[in-house]
Amino acid sequence: MDMIKLLRKVPLFAELNEAELTSIATLASSIEIAKKNIVVQEFEPGDSMYVILDGEVKISTYSIDGREVVLALLGKGSFFGEMSLLDEEPRSATVTTMTDSKLAHIRRRDLVPLLMERPAITLKLLKEITSRLRRTSRILERISSMDVPHRLYAYIVDHCQRFGQPKNDGRYAAVLPTHQLLADQLSTSRETISRAISALKKDGTLVQGDSRGKVSVDVDALEERLEDF
């Protein structure tokens, strides 16, 4: 599949016409990176952004005690590196591939002229940056103010509402990250997450699906627990 067809599926570029897509495709270079490799390193200089054409990456930083905190998991159609592209400051986080991934790499000097010409793309970019900053702020607030079970409840509710599928019975079907990835995002241990997940399965709030990570979630029950916190 050529670059134009791949970029057409990326929400950021959804409003571009054929000529504009062609210009982006000309600017972008395709790179393939194997699983568990660093794409960008926190604090390193950066002058480009990446669009995920296939695969999955994690965005992470490290706490004062050296523990990894995963800020986000991004998949096909998402992008990263846009902050350094816009402000020319060092990278704000480390990005690591979770699977073998195919990325489109776009340099600042090539993209900025297009952003000036197409305000709609610029607004989409800024909207996504704002959304991620809000999400990061919520994560840090939860880590500082909530115990681990309630951090997990809040995470699952947010995950279901963003990525899950609502069902007729009021529950959500969703695929949760591994217990280790949940622990890394919620600043705790895998064992603590496993115990909290087991408790939710025991009381029926989570029902295990037919494949790894797939669950049925009673989001209302989790929201009630958060309201009572």
Higher pLDDT, 67 or 29: 29
Domain 3-144 has CATH 3.40.50.720: no
The answer to whether the beta carbons of residues 205 and 218 sit under 8 Å apart is yes
**Res 34 pLDDT > 90:** yes
CA 25 from centre of chain: 24
Which helix (H) or strand (E) covers residue 142, if one does? helix 119-145
In terms of Cα–Cα distance, which of 99, 113, 102, 93 is closest to 10?
102
Nearest Cα to Cα of residue 74 among 92, 90, 96: 96
- CA distances to 30, 41, 92 from 95, rounded to whole Å, are 17, 7, 10
Which residues share a beta bridge with 56? 75
Residue 137's pLDDT is: 84
pLDDT of residue 149: 94
pLDDT of 7 reads 83
Residue 159 has pLDDT above 70, yes or no: yes
Per-residue pLDDT band at 54 (split at 50, 70, 90): very high
Q: Is the pLDDT of residue 147 over 80?
A: yes
CB 209 within 8 A of CB 167: no
Q: What's the pLDDT at 12?
A: 77
Predicted TM-score (pTM) of the model is: 0.75
pLDDT band at 114 (very low <50, low <70, confident <90, very high): confident
Would you state the pLDDT for residue 85? Answer: 78
Cα–Cα distance for residue pair 144/28, rounded to 1 Å: 40
Which residues neighbour 24 within 8 Å (Cβ) at sequence distance 6 or greater?
7, 13, 16, 106, 114
| Cα separation, 9 vs 76, whole angstroms | 9
Q: Which CATH architecture has domain 147-228?
A: Sandwich (2.60)
- Using CA atoms, how far apart are residues 34 and 92, in angstroms rounded to an integer? 22
Mean pLDDT, the chain, whole residue set:
88
Domain boundaries, the chain: 3-144, 147-228
State the DSSP code for 99: S
Q: What is the percentage of the chain residues whose pLDDT exceeds 90? A: 48
- Does the pLDDT value for residue 1 go beyond 70? no
* Position 213 confidence tier, pLDDT thresholds 50, 70, 90: confident
Fold match, 3-144 / 147-228: yes
Q: How far apart are CA 61 and CA 92, in angstroms?
A: 8
- Write down the pLDDT at residue 132: 79
